Amino acid sequence: MSAITASPASTGPPPAAAPRRHLPFHGDALSRLGLLLLIGFLLVAVFGAWLPLGDPEAVNAGPRLAAPSGRLWAGTDSLGRSVLPRLVEGIRTTFLLAGTAVMVTAAVSVLLGMMAAYYRGLVAELITRGADVLFAFPALLLAILLAAIVGPGAPGALISIVLICSPLMVRVVRAASLSVVDRDFVVAARVGGAGPGRILLVHLLPNIAGPAVVQATYALSVGMLLESGLSFLGLGLQPPSASLGSLVHEGAVYLPIAPWLVLIPGTLLTLAIMAVNLVGDGLRDALDVRGVEVRR
Amino acid sequence: MAPSGGLRYFAGRLVTGAVTLWVVSVLVFSAVHLVPGGYPDIVLGPASSPQVREALRAEFGLDRPLVLQYLEWVRHVLTGDLGTSLGTGEPVSAQLMRRLPVTAELAGLSLALTVLAGVPLALLAGLSRGRFGRGLSRLVGSSAMSVPDFVLGSLLVFLFSRFSLGLPVGGYVPLAEDPVANLRSMALPALTLSVFGLALVVRTGRDAVAATFSSPHIAAALARGERIGQVTRHHVLRNAAIPVLTVLATYAGYLMGGAVIVENLFSLPGVAQAVLNAINGRDYATVQGLVLVAAAVFIAINLLADFAYGVVDPRIRAGHRG
C-alpha cells in the first residue's frame, strides 16, 4: 500500500518568489481554458445570488417540468421551481463544501506531513500508519459508512472528504519535507536554536508549498466528485438546499421525460471538475511537481 | 541475497496488510456499536419494557464488555459467519454469496475493458509526437477523468432508452440463464465504470512510456541498432508497467465505490446495492459484515499489486526503492 509514493518535488525557491514575466500557464492552452472556466464558475458561485434570476426555492415559478425556453432558460423541476437559480445555488454549494473540506484537509495534512518528516520515530510511525489505514478504505464506501453514522447531510460529506483526501496529502507533504529536512539551512536553523514550530513554519512550509498546492487542487476535484456522488445517492446534501449532485439526484426520476433536469447540472458538474483538474495539471507543470496523484 | 531479500519484501507486505485489516475491523466495529442509534439501539429499538430489553441484550450478547463482543464477532467472521441481517434475518454471508457474482462480473468486465483498451492506447499516446494528437488525447483524457460516473451513466441511460440504440437499460439477466442477454445487460454498466479507469491508465501509461523513452538506455539501445518494436517490448513495457499497476490498484478501490452508484443506477442486484440498502435501512449487522469484506478485498488487491511490483521490478524486491 505504500507503493503509491510521492517522489521528492523540486526544492528550488518557493513559487511565489519566482518572477513571472508571462501569463499563467504559458504555452498550455488547455490549462488556460481550465483557468478561465474555473474563474467563471467561481464568479457565479460568489456573485450568482445577486443576479436577477429569481428565487431558487419559489414553487410554481412556471408549469411543472417545463422544458428550457426563452423565459425559463433551464426549464422547471417537478415542483415548478425555476432550475436556473437552483443551478447557481448548486454551483455555490458544491464549491463551498468541497473548498471548505479541502482547506481543512490541507491544514491538517500539511501539519501532520511536516511533523512526520521532522520527528522521526513514534510520531512519524503513527502518522504514516494512520494514513495507510485510511487509505485501505475504498473512498466512496468510507463516505457512505460515515453518512450512515453521522447521518446524511453536509457535515458527513465534509468529514468524509477530509478523511479521504488527507492520507494522500500527508504522504505527498511528508515526501517533500523529507527531501528538505536534512538540508544545511534547516540544520543551521536548529543549531541556531530555532524551535520545531519555527522550523516547520518558516523553513519547511515555503519549500513544500508547491506540491501541497497541486495536491490540494486535485483534492478539490476529488472532494467535488465525492460530495456529488454522495448527494446523488441521497446521502449528501438534503433538500431544499441544492448542490450540483443533489440536483442530478432530484432529476434522476424524471430522466425519460425531463432529461434537462439531469443533463444540465451533470454537464456543469463535469465542466467544473474538469476545470479544477486542468488547473491542477497546469500548476503541476508550472511548479515542476512530480509524483502528485489523483485518487477518487 | 536476492531470495531472502525478496522473501522479506513479500512477508513485510503481508504483515502490513494483516495489521491494516485488523485496524479496519476495529474501526468498523466501534463505529457501528458506539454511535448513537447504532447496532445496539436498533436491536433494542422495538423493546419497551425493561424485561424484554434485558432478554434481548442477553440474546444478542450486548450485556457483555465491548471487547468481548468484538472478539466474538471476529471469531465468527473467521469461521465464515458474518452475522445475521437485522432486517430480513438472513445470514449476511448468504446474501453476500448470492450477490457477489453480479458485482464480481461488473468489476471484472470493467477491469478487462480498462486494461485491454487502455494499455494499447497508452502506448500509442506515449509514442506519438504530434502536437495536435497530444492535445486531443489530453482533452479527451481530462474529460474522462472528470465526468462523474453517475453523470456518464445517466447520459447513457437517457441516450440508449430514448433512441433505442440496441442495448437494454437496466433489467439484470443472470449469467446462467442467458449468457448473451447477461452480457448485453452488463455492457452499459461496465462501460460507465471503465471510462475513469481508461483515462487513468492512458494518462499514467502515456507519461510513463514517454519518460522511459527519453531515458539514456533507450537511446543507447536505439543507437546499437535495435528495432523500435523490440526496444518497446524489452525496455519500455517493463519500466512503464509499475506506475500503471499502481493506478490499477487505485482503480480497484474506485470500482468498489463506483459499483454502488452503477448498481443503483442500472438496478443491478449486486453487493454494493446491498450495502446501500443496509445503510438506508439501518441494518448495521449487514453493514459491518459487508464493509469488512469490501475492505479485505481492497487490501488483498493492494497486496497483489505490491507483489506484482516485486515480480516486475527486482529492485523493489531487493529493497532498493522506498
d(CA A110, CA A112): 6
Question: Cβ(B17)–Cβ(B317) under 8 Å?
Answer: no
Q: Which pLDDT score, from 0 to 100, does residue A68 have? A: 75
Q: How far apart are CA A268 and CA B169, in angstroms?
A: 24
Q: What is the pTM of this model?
A: 0.83
Distance from CA of A231 to the nearest CA of B (A): 11
CA A197 to chain centre: 27
- Mean pLDDT for B215-241 is 82
Secondary structure of residue A193 in the 3-state scheme: coil
Please answer whether residues A115 and A271 qualify as being in contact, where contact means their C-beta atoms are separated by less than 8 angstroms.
no
Alpha helices in chain B (DSSP H): 2-34, 39-44, 50-60, 66-78, 92-127, 131-146, 149-162, 179-213, 216-223, 228-231, 237-265, 271-280, 284-312, 314-317
Closest C-alpha to A271, from A45, A86, A38? A38
Closest-approach residue (CA) in chain A for B23:
A133
Cβ of residue A290 closer than 8 Å to a chain B Cβ: no
Q: How many CB atoms lie within 10 A of CB B33?
A: 18
Local mean pLDDT, 10-residue blocks, chain A (296 residues): 42 47 68 90 86 71 71 72 84 92 94 88 85 78 80 86 90 87 86 85 85 90 91 84 88 84 91 92 78 51
Best residue in A141, A161, A295 to probe B by mutation, most B CBs within 10 Å? A141
Is residue A282 within 8 A of residue A24, CB to CB? The reply is yes
Closest CA of chain B from A3, distance in Å: 7
Q: Measured between CB atoms, does A30 come within 8 Å of chain B?
A: yes
Work out the average pLDDT over B149-177.
83
B72 versus B128: the higher-pLDDT residue is: B72
Whether B150 contacts chain A with CB within 8 A? yes
Q: Residue A140 and residue B162: Cβ atoms within 8 Å?
A: no
Nearby residues of A224 by Cβ (< 8 Å), 6 or more positions away:
A94, A95, A98, A269, A272, A273, A276
Q: Scanning every residue of chain B, which has its alpha carbon at the shortest distance from the alpha carbon of A267? A: B151
Chain A CB contacts of B24 below 8 Å: 133, 136-137
- The answer to whether residue B133 is domain-embedded is yes
List the single range of A65-74, B115-124, B139-148, B231-240 with lowest mean pLDDT: A65-74
B248 pLDDT above the threshold of 50:
yes
Residue B269 and residue B172 in contact, taking contact as beta carbons nearer than 8 Å: yes
Name all domains of chain A by residue range, CATH numbers in brackets: 29-46+81-286 (1.10.3720.10)
DSSP reduced 3-state for B278: helix
pLDDT of residue A38: 93
Beta strands, E only, chain A? none
pLDDT at residue B203, rounded to an integer: 83
Say yes or no to pLDDT of B288 above 80. Answer: yes
Domain housing B142: 96-280
Nearest by Cα to A94 from B97, B103, B148 = B148
**Is residue B123 included in any domain, yes or no?**
yes
Number of domains in chain B: 1
Identify the CATH number of the domain in which residue B207 sits. Answer: 1.10.3720.10
**pLDDT value of residue A178:** 85
Flag whether B69 is in a domain: no
Tens digits of residue pLDDT in B32-73:
877 766 677 777 766 667 777 777 777 777 777 888 888 888
- Calculate what percentage of chain B has a pLDDT beyond 70: 92
User: What pLDDT score does A4 carry?
Assistant: 42
**Omega before A240 within 30 of 0, i.e. cis:** yes
- Nearest CA to A260 out of A76, A31, A98 is that of A76
Least confidently predicted of A51-55, B28-32, B234-238: A51-55
Contact B253, B298 (CB under 8 A): yes
The 3-class secondary structure across A240-261, one letter per residue, is CCCCHHHHHHHHHCCCCCCCHH
pLDDT of residue B69: 84
Q: What is the reported pLDDT for A291?
A: 52
- Give the minimum alpha-carbon distance from A274 to chain B in angstroms, rounded to a whole number: 5
User: Helices B131-146 & A260-286, crossing angle to 10 degrees?
Assistant: 130
